[in-house]
Amino acid sequence: MITTDILQQLAKTHGTPLFVIDHEELLCNYEMFKKNLPRVQAYYAVKANPDPAIVKTLFNAGASFDVSSIAEFESVYENIKDLPEQEQHDWIWNNIIYANPIKAEETLQVLDKYQPLLTFDNSEEVVKMSQHAPNSRVVLRLRVSNAGAMVELSSKFGAAHEEALDLIFEAINAGLTVAGLSFHVGSQTTNFENYMQAINLAALIFKEVKARGYDQMNLLDIGGGFPAPYDESVKPFSELAKRINTELDRLISPDIKIIAEPGRFIAATAATAVSKIIGKAVRHGKLCYYIDDGVYHTFSGVIFDHCQYHFDAFKTGPTQICTVFGPTCDGLDVISMTEELPSNLERGDLLSSKNIGAYSAATSTYFNGFPPAKIIHVNR
């Protein structure tokens, strides 16, 4: 648990802006995931926060990984590179899924050597994989409802139910091993029905494939989307997990390996941003604070993740609805126009934003000459 005192001390020592990662919280989230979904092997989605120290902490805790680029693959590989070749191969086989359905030819050529699971969702990809990564085990990504998710993915990825069988047999006929099915119900999914529908669809397709005489599908990947507790409206994870477990036990045979790709759920609550007020103005009658971190940096989730972060001030006073701006010269650099903050904050005062571990530092830039916030690891 990172207290206000610790944050203040860190800001004093390192300056601001800071991005403070709590490794104890990371482990706690990973353990909570495993405990609530005992049949499910957790593959951390590196995209949510690719910091190498996060990957290492989770690797040491026994996690598996979902990667979607060669760089992400390498950040995981880094942890096994000293193992003998056969052990590396076995570990990758059991613990990495390359879950980007669209892969460049060059990417496939690199991956072919290591043989992680690969996802796909269209014919073109079958041709590409069979030419450039012919030894692959592949997983068909299904299109499922993303209704009610904060970030929707179904318009970009996933094969429709009607196409699924044809694609599976196209891949088999092209010499690939079809290991199973995957889906993603949309990130920060608070509509639990999405999972139920998706598991039902997968069960139906497993049955259809078996009926057509192929019996090598033994993996179900239930994706990411598990919601982080950003506010009280998010129902407890245990409730979602209970419903998923019931549906898995009812519909998915015990000899099928079940995996998931939680990103946000593991990373979101594990980081806190600390920023400093660098300017203060009243514009159109509204109090505006300018801080040293913004939407091109730690708060990039405001733009890319449809996420709204809140601030805690380190001192109290009468509050009002304020605007909080980032430090760059761009008018887009607005973190919030409706943040309730004390009106007596001054230049040099600190603000913190919790639950900012996912899709934040991951998409930070150097725009306008402002570097990303300094990353601090605690409880490592």
CB of 36 to ligand PLP, least distance (A): 15
Size of the site for ligand PLP (CB under 6 A): 16
Nearer residue to ligand PLP within complex by CB, 226 or 311: 226
Q: Which residues pair with 291 in a beta bridge?
A: 277
Nearer residue to ligand PLP within complex by CB, 34 or 89: 34
Nearer residue to ligand PLP within complex by CB, 16 or 29: 29
Distance CA 15, CA 323 (A): 23
For the segment 335-374, give every residue that binds ligand PLP (CB under 6 A).
Answer: none
23, 47, 276, 310: which one binds ligand PLP (CB under 6 A): 47
Helix, strand, coil tally for the chain in percent (to 5) = 40, 25, 40
Q: Which residues pair with 280 in a beta bridge?
A: 289
Binding flags for ligand PLP, 222-241, as an x/- string (CB under 6 A): -xxxx---------------
For the segment 51-90, give every residue that binds ligand PLP (CB under 6 A).
Answer: 66
What is the phi/psi pair of residue 222, to 5°? Answer: -90, 10
Nearer residue to ligand PLP within complex by CB, 247 or 261: 261
Could you tell me the two tokens for 178? 């079809």
CB of 97 to ligand PLP, least distance (A): 8
Q: Which amino acid belongs to residue 43?
A: Y
Strands, E, within the chain: which ranges?
18-22, 40-45, 64-67, 96-98, 117-120, 137-141, 149-151, 177-182, 187-189, 219-221, 257-260, 271-283, 286-291, 312-313, 319-325, 334-342, 350-353, 374-378
Per the annotation, the verdict on 329 as an active-site residue is yes
CB of 99 to ligand PLP, least distance (A): 4
CB of 96 to ligand PLP, least distance (A): 13
CB of 278 to ligand PLP, least distance (A): 31
Contacts of 73 (CB under 8 A, 6+ apart): 67, 96, 98, 110, 111, 114, 116
For the segment 88-117, give every residue that binds ligand PLP (CB under 6 A).
Answer: 99
- 3-state SS, 140-176, equals EEECCCCCCEEECCCCCCCECHHHHHHHHHHHHHCCC
Among residues 28, 288, 307, 329, which one is catalytic? 329
Going by their DSSP bridges, the two strands 96-98 and 319-325 should be labelled as unpaired
* Residue whose beta carbon is closest to ligand PLP: 224
For the segment 239-278, give every residue that binds ligand PLP (CB under 6 A).
Answer: 261-265
Cβ atoms of 335 and 295 closer than 8 Å: yes
For the segment 16-45, give every residue that binds ligand PLP (CB under 6 A).
Answer: 45
Q: Which amino acid belongs to residue 291?
A: I
For the segment 158-217, give every residue that binds ligand PLP (CB under 6 A).
Answer: 184, 187
> Which residues lie near ligand PLP (CB under 6 A)?
45, 47-48, 66, 99, 184, 187, 223-226, 261-265
**Catalytic site positions:** 329
